[in-house]
Amino acid sequence: MSAIGIRPGRLMRGILRVAGLWVLFRLPGSLRRPVRPERGARPGESARPDELVPPGESGRSGEPGGPGRGPRRPRRALRALRQRTLRRRELGRRGLGRRGLWRPGRLHSLAPPDATVLPDAAVLPDAAVLPDSTEAPDASGGPDDQSAPGQATRPAPPRPSRPELTLRLRRLPRRMLRFVRHLNLWVPRRDLLLPRREFRVPRLPLIARPGAVTAPAAGEQPAAAGRDQASRRRAPWPVQAAAAVGWLLLGAVLYSCYLHLSRTVPANSDGAANVLQAWSMLHGNPLLRGWVLSDVSFYTTELPQYMLIELVRGVSPDVTHIAGALTYTILVLLAARLAKGSATGPEGLVRVAIAAGIMLAPPQSSVSVLMLQPDHVGSAVPVLLILLLIDRAGRRWFVPPLVLVLVGWALVADQVILISAAAPLALVALARAYHLVIRLRRKLRTAWFELALVAAAAAGVYAGERALALIRSSGGFTVYPVSNQLAPFTTLPHNALEVLQGILVLFGADFPGRSVSFLAAVGLVHLIGAGLVIWAVCAAFRRFARAKITVQLLAASVACNVIAYLLGPNAAAGNTSREFAAVLPLGAALAGRLLARRLRRARLVPATAAVLAIYVAGLVGYVHREPVPAQNQALAGWLAAHKLSYGLADYWLANSVTVDSGGKVAVRAIKSGKYAAWPNTWETKPGWYSPAEHIANFVVMPSYGPGPWFRAPSAINVIRTFGQPARVYLLADYTVLVWNANLLARLG
């Protein structure tokens, strides 16, 4: 051999290495306790080592004690196939499979459900004998085999008794432990591998009783799987009824508090415009024909709510307060329910307390953003409904169609749904599909739900855009296009400061610049709520790949809203935190869902309860403030008393005076230049300015001069346009100019 370049010593070492590897991987399987082969089986053939094989029974068919009639091999094959089918059904029922995880402290047997339970202090050796006095279910009969009505039931043939079941275990070699991450798992040969130590049986029974939780599903944590399976059981109807009554009582209490809190801030002309639009829809104009709205229509969200309220209250400034309080109450309840998820008991209560506590007591500086006129806050309701649907329904066929409907319905009302719902849905679903198909190399059909969500988000956006185009082509309302301009790089530092200030306003922590008082201290404590949300977002992105789809969607939606506001043009205007108001309910739900268990482990639940008590005290302090009258109620009353029923003003006076007067006085918005005035086409109707239908004979202006907004009418421009007035009234805060002619005929 040396002549051909092969040394005998090296050749022998190679042979010994190959033999050693063969012995290493084959010898542990060959040292198992031998099983008596079946009668008629071929030499070397035995039962599968991972099954529970009774010593007194083999794979024979027919009567006990003798072989069956006919050819032995087909009957033996059918018997083995039947046993394998029953075993797969048992594994599927208990959430196990070939690759299902078996973890230390959670050993479960595959014996029948009513077998004898080992004591708590028992130790499971390498080979354990579990007593059993029952018979294994047979494919020809059992509890699942139901006979047709009126048909005689054939008695089952006698079967041999099975006095005991043998569970065969083998150990991993020590050098193989380095290549196995989980010590207990099912390998393709389906042999149960145990490390070199003994395990004590947990307090739960080793052999599951009927209806008990047996083993975690593959890829899930054991505790979480147990909770999810337990939560799927329906509670008794008295418990469900008590829970529903509790949610209703909580909603009623919160609504009464928020209604009083909303009345401490007067509504402005934006909310008054929505009141007039809903009133027009109630009186025969459901498509708002001729209306020119802003860049947000609220057509499918807030306007139907305003219509229902106006059926009872009529045109009134209180409609805005009632709708705002009701919308915020729904947001708090939906965020708390989404945070609860499938958790029950103390953990579910802590989740609800965290989510509701973060949103519980907004200060007066946040009322105008959160619970007054529609300012993108109500657009978070469809987003929470979508997340609740995905969280509670799971991977079912009807979820993507319902998501499509919700996205399209919300997009007709507000384009911010593209940022808070459609974009996170598409991104998260694509990431999950990529993880399943590309990284895990599973079949494409395993990602059907994720791909269906992507298609639903895209189809919902298309359906919403087509619905708006159809309404416009049918003569309905018109909306301004949303600006898609990105902020220049030089304004990013200013935008970052605006993001920080907006977060403080949304979470009620806008205390800088205020006098020292108890309510300012409550605002300081609100920083804890903002900190919890930031903690939850960081924790969600840290374990993003392993998180559930609901957590991924919550975190992605919060991030998309903040990034869009940072890079968009709205942050440059200042005081526009309403543009990403959905961060508050989404962040609160995420914090309650992720931090409840962490706070319980760190024993911070009492501290959380103390912070919640401070929030409740702050809410009581806010509610005790006196409500304020409508913004222009005094002016509306004066105009009605002097028989001035139709006139002109700037935008921030026109719709507000109309609603504050209950519809008795109509004031329309105008803009003015140096030598002309023309109608304001923002939240107005062109028919209001027709001289053939209406007669306008007065103009109202603030006494301090024109407002700082663009093209606000001034006294000089108004006189240049309409001439010298016949009468001038100087009120406390307003100046009223009256003419003896129809001013609408002189508008440009």
Last residue in a domain, options 460, 477, 494: 477
The model's confidence at residue 513, banded by pLDDT at 50, 70 and 90, is low
16: pLDDT strictly greater than 70: yes
Question: What span, in angstroms and rounded, lies between the C-alpha atoms of 592 and 21?
Answer: 52
Considering only 155-159, 245-249, 401-405, 728-732, which range has the smallest mean pLDDT?
155-159
78: pLDDT strictly greater than 60: yes
Q: Which two tokens stand for residue 326?
A: 């009701």
Residue where the block lists tokens 């809903």:
278
DSSP, residue by residue, 67-132: PPSS-HHHHHHHHHHHHHHHHHHHHHHTT--TT-B--TT-----S-TTSPPPPTT-EE-SEEEEE-
Could you say which DSSP state residue 194 is in? E
* Overall domain count for the chain: 5
Closest-CA residue to 730 (of 697, 708, 711, 704): 704
Identify whether residues 219 and 356 lie together within a single domain.
no
The neighbouring-strand residues paired with 185 are: 101
| Chain segment 26-76, per-residue pLDDT in tens | 554 444 444 444 444 444 444 444 433 344 444 443 444 444 444 445 677
Q: Which two tokens stand for residue 473?
A: 């082509």
| Chain segment 249-274, per-residue pLDDT in tens | 999 999 999 999 999 888 888 888 99
Mean model confidence pLDDT for the chain: 75
| Beta carbons of 109 and 207 less than 8 angstroms apart | yes
Identify whether residues 6 and 55 lie together within a single domain.
no
pLDDT of residue 51: 37
649: pLDDT strictly greater than 50: yes
Task: For 709-721, give the secondary structure using H, E and C.
Answer: CCCCCCHHHHHHH
Last residue in a domain, options 426, 446, 477: 477
441: pLDDT strictly greater than 60: yes
Identify whether residues 339 and 361 lie together within a single domain.
yes
Considering only 121-135, 419-433, 524-538, which range has the smallest mean pLDDT?
121-135
Question: What span, in angstroms and rounded, lies between the C-alpha atoms of 271 and 659?
Answer: 9
Tell me how far CA of residue 273 lies from CA of 306, 319, 414, 653, in angstroms. Answer: 11, 12, 16, 11
Question: What span, in angstroms and rounded, lies between the C-alpha atoms of 87 and 50?
Answer: 10
Identify whether residues 585 and 640 lie together within a single domain.
no
Does residue 677 or residue 215 have the better pLDDT?
Answer: 677
pLDDT of residue 464: 93
pLDDT of residue 55: 40
The answer to whether residue 121 sits within a structural domain is yes
| Beta carbons of 260 and 620 less than 8 angstroms apart | no
Identify whether residues 345 and 213 lie together within a single domain.
no
Question: What span, in angstroms and rounded, lies between the C-alpha atoms of 631 and 267?
Answer: 7
Q: Residue 186 carries which side chain, given as an amino acid letter?
A: W
The neighbouring-strand residues paired with 127 are: 168
pLDDT of residue 428: 95
Closest-CA residue to 519 (of 606, 609, 625, 371): 625
Report, as an integer, the average pLDDT of 298-302.
91
3-state secondary structure of 727: strand
The answer to whether residue 676 sits within a structural domain is yes
Q: Residue 97 carries which side chain, given as an amino acid letter?
A: G
Identify whether residues 489 and 613 lie together within a single domain.
yes
Does residue 467 or residue 106 have the better pLDDT?
Answer: 467
In our burial notation (b when 16+ CB lie closer than 10 A, e otherwise), range 320-358 reads bbbbbbbbbbbbbbbbbbbbbbebeeebbebbbbbbbbb
Radius of gyration of the chain (CA): 36
Could you say which DSSP state residue 748 is in? -
Question: What span, in angstroms and rounded, lies between the C-alpha atoms of 636 and 665?
Answer: 7
The answer to whether residue 574 sits within a structural domain is yes
pLDDT of residue 420: 93
Q: Which of 148-157, 262-271, 675-684 has the highest mean pLDDT?
A: 262-271
What is the β-pairing status of strands 170-171 and 193-194?
A: parallel
The answer to whether residue 511 sits within a structural domain is yes
Report, as an integer, the average pLDDT of 524-540.
92
| Chain segment 388-426, per-residue pLDDT in tens | 999 999 899 999 999 999 999 999 998 999 999 999 999
Question: What span, in angstroms and rounded, lies between the C-alpha atoms of 553 and 432?
Answer: 11
pLDDT of residue 713: 78
Could you say which DSSP state residue 163 is in? -
The answer to whether residue 537 sits within a structural domain is yes
Q: Which two tokens stand for residue 725?
A: 């007035």
Does residue 222 or residue 265 have the better pLDDT?
Answer: 265
Identify whether residues 450 and 422 lie together within a single domain.
yes
The answer to whether residue 146 sits within a structural domain is no
pLDDT of residue 705: 65
Considering only 256-270, 407-421, 583-597, 708-722, which range has the smallest mean pLDDT?
708-722
651: pLDDT strictly greater than 70: yes
Considering only 298-312, 437-451, 479-493, 607-621, which range has the smallest mean pLDDT?
479-493
Report, as an integer, the average pLDDT of 602-607.
91
| C-beta pairs of 723-732 under 8 Å, 24+ apart in sequence | 725/699, 729/642, 730/703, 731/635, 731/638, 731/703, 732/634, 732/703
pLDDT of residue 469: 92
Closest-CA residue to 671 (of 622, 705, 709, 711): 711
Identify whether residues 603 and 653 lie together within a single domain.
no
Identify whether residues 468 and 516 lie together within a single domain.
no
701: pLDDT strictly greater than 80: yes
Considering only 188-197, 288-297, 359-368, 483-492, which range has the smallest mean pLDDT?
188-197
Tell me how far CA of residue 291 lies from CA of 452, 661, 696, in angstroms. Answer: 37, 22, 20
The answer to whether residue 247 sits within a structural domain is yes
Q: Which two tokens stand for residue 376?
A: 């993108």
In our burial notation (b when 16+ CB lie closer than 10 A, e otherwise), range 483-514 reads eeeebeeeeeeebeebbebbbbbbbbbbbeee
87: pLDDT strictly greater than 80: no
609: pLDDT strictly greater than 50: yes
pLDDT of residue 704: 73
Considering only 7-11, 503-507, 568-572, 674-678, which range has the smallest mean pLDDT?
7-11
Report, as an integer, the average pLDDT of 691-695.
88
| Beta carbons of 600 and 350 less than 8 angstroms apart | yes
| Chain segment 160-170, per-residue pLDDT in tens | 444 443 444 44
Identify whether residues 611 and 492 lie together within a single domain.
yes
Domain that holds residue 422: 393-413+416-477
Last residue in a domain, options 592, 623, 654: 623
Identify whether residues 367 and 493 lie together within a single domain.
yes
The model's confidence at residue 542, banded by pLDDT at 50, 70 and 90, is very high
pLDDT of residue 295: 86
What is the β-pairing status of strands 646-649 and 666-672?
A: parallel
The answer to whether residue 628 sits within a structural domain is no
Identify whether residues 356 and 493 lie together within a single domain.
yes
3-state secondary structure of 702: strand
What is the β-pairing status of strands 734-738 and 698-702?
A: antiparallel
pLDDT of residue 59: 41
pLDDT of residue 498: 87
